[in-house]
A and B are shown apart, each in its own frame.
Chain A
């Protein structure tokens, strides 16, 4: 079986940052929902680009510029393939998922959302999928509607359907929750919204690095993700949009590269995707992202998803045996993100004590304060896994939690 052949220990060797000690203890990196470590091939790609390939794209008539343009556009084609989009023109490079959402809010939203209209999000959204819509609503006089969840952290689909009406202009929903790992039924949600002619944006920041995401299968209208959460560089991400929507949307920012011609009387905008890529982009970042996608393709997203599912099972069982520990978010369908609280110990103290054992987790509200309020906790501790984590990492986490108990005895 191929699944058994997956060798996390071997894969770890590709990630230089994982091979270090923190306070004399081997690093156990469990903050992958915040950002992931980078394989050597991605680091090398950045160095190689700046050492011997650096030139600006799309404008140069010399060799280096053409090479850089080819490399940059080559990644666009690979992202298309990775997401199974119909066309490369539907792939827009942005700074990250946050900028992708802001682009849609400012361009699509300001054009089509009017006074009295509604935008639907869920209670488990990251602030980046709340605040851009609030800003839009404030400006347009529109209203943000919130899909509730059950105590396990699952979308209440009946409530969702009830929220959709003739005033709804957009649904924007996380594919996977960054706090509790819930895998939302986005395909079904898209279908329901489309039944009423409502477009859907999927925040894929926590999904694209961990499972096979097919935008044609989901039939979502927009999807965003960040490069740095999928083993690529920071400062680069992708907005996927259906071409028919992108065509009728106005530009997000003005500048070079996004125009066909400029006079002081009139500017003609470039075609998609360039219309949305004003200024010199993060060329090195895009090339690094391309290398990260190559790396993921070599392992295989199905392999990654299957291995992480097994890690989640092991982690959930092991944490369930820790005295006084309560899991926050126990959805039936989950990605490998585990949030928890410990009786009488604040997550911040858990984070500090774990850190001294070399175990890096996140403690806080995880940029999802409404979700904290929903579960009635000020903060949680969160361990989030990637394919380079092992069952030994789970053991180290549990041992470190034993230390917390010792300190707070």
Chain B
């Protein structure tokens, strides 16, 4: 596979064209917004958290194929998980882009989400892949927060 094909894997193209859970959530009790002012990406993530479990999650907004597919696949991965599990999965996802090489255990724990490994070769696109995740984390930590890739308050990946 060429590096471009590594980046734009079939599953990513599929999720970008037909995003899952791509809707507002009426019964949501957590909301957050994420921006990448440099490229205009903008997502809203809404959650219904009961006890410690993410019962429902939906997202809306616009963005590139990478950011949209990542948001779509993220919603599928965290639904039904506890808040702690979801945050741990985000850490796992971020590790995909960190370090010298990809760890096998990391890939196994990520499952389908490992499709984003190709983004490693495109440092400026790491922000695209993690935008929805940062937004999710903000929503889990406090109601109504806004995160931006260009604000120093969030720990954004190099790019």
Contacts and interface: CB of A to CB of B under 8 A. Distances in A.
B115 interface: no
Nearest to A372: B40
A262 interface: no
B67 to A, nearest CB: 8
A352 B42 contact: no
Size category of the B interface is 20 to 34
Contact of B66 (A349, A365, A378, A408): A349
Contacts of B125: 348, 352
Given A364-B38, A364-B39, A408 B13 contact: yes
Interface string B6-21: 0110000100010000
Contact of B40 (A349, A352, A364): A364
A372 B39 CA distance: 11
Interface residues of A, number: 19
Given A352-B125, A353-B4, A379-B39, A407 B13 contact: yes
B62 interface: yes
A407 B8 contact: yes
Most chain B CB within a 10 A radius of its CB, from A346, A353, A407, A408: A346
Contacts of A408: 8, 13, 65
A8 to B, nearest CB: 29
A356 interface: yes
Contacts of A265: none
A349 B65 contact: yes
B3 interface: yes
Nearest to A356: B4
Interface in B45-66: 62-66
A322 interface: no
A298 interface: no
Interface in B107-146: 122, 125, 128
A139 B147 CA distance: 29
A349 B39 CA distance: 11
Given A344-B17, A407-B13, A378 B42 contact: yes
A347 B13 CA distance: 15
Interface string A369-381: 1001000001100
Nearest to A344: B17
Contacts of B7: 352
A372 B13 CA distance: 25
A408 B13 CA distance: 7
A356 B4 CA distance: 8
A378 B68 CA distance: 14
Contact of A348 (B4, B5, B13, B39): B39
Nearest to B62: A378
A363 interface: yes
Nearest to B7: A352
A188 to B, nearest CB: 33
Given A346-B63, A364-B38, 11 more contacts: A347-B64, A348-B39, A348-B63, A348-B125, A349-B64, A352-B122, A353-B8, A364-B40, A372-B40, A407-B5, A408-B65
Interface of B: 3-5, 7-8, 13, 17, 38-42, 62-66, 68, 122, 125, 128
15 contacts: A344-B17, A346-B63, A346-B64, A346-B65, A348-B66, A348-B125, A349-B8, A349-B66, A352-B7, A352-B122, A356-B3, A363-B39, A365-B39, A378-B41, A408-B13
Interface of A: 344-349, 352-353, 356, 363-365, 369, 372, 378-379, 403, 407-408
